Amino acid sequence: MLGAYALAARGVENLYPFSVFPMYSGEAGTGTSRVMARTAEGAFVEVTAFERWQCDALPVLETTTCAGVGGIPYIDREREQYLRAHAGTGGQPIELVRRVFSFDDVARPTHCPLVRCTAVPR
């Protein structure tokens, strides 16, 4: 039965319920990053922990990198949509950063600042 599934998956590639799982077939890469909020105290928290965001000039998050490391495009788009949908005034100073997670022995910064903002905690 398993052999039949493997042959069918190779023949149709990515048609449900048969798949060769192409999302796992590429190389893992050396690191990834995530857009996060950094509080005045230096803590990294999720963007969704705040509302009423006001940023000077919000960049297109999907195209930003930190030390050459980018993020997962659909997550970056979701973060940017959240920030734009929750625009407002007031709150505490927050720094929007790209936080880097490395999977090799290359020295990289732990985060790169993107823009200074203010936001209200939820």
What pLDDT, in 10s, does the model give residues 43-76?
Answer: 999 999 999 999 989 999 999 999 889 999 999 9
pLDDT of residue 88 exceeding 90, the answer is yes
pTM of the model: 0.75
How far apart are the C-alpha atoms of 115 and 65, rounded to whole Å?
Answer: 13
How far apart are the C-alpha atoms of 38 and 119, rounded to whole Å?
Answer: 11
pLDDT per position as a tens digit, 11-20? 566 667 767 6
Q: Considering only 24-28, 34-38, 103-107, 108-112, which range has the smallest mean pLDDT?
A: 24-28
- Joined together, the tokens standing for residue 99 give 């936080």
Mean pLDDT of the residues in the chain: 87
> What is the SS3 assignment for 10?
helix
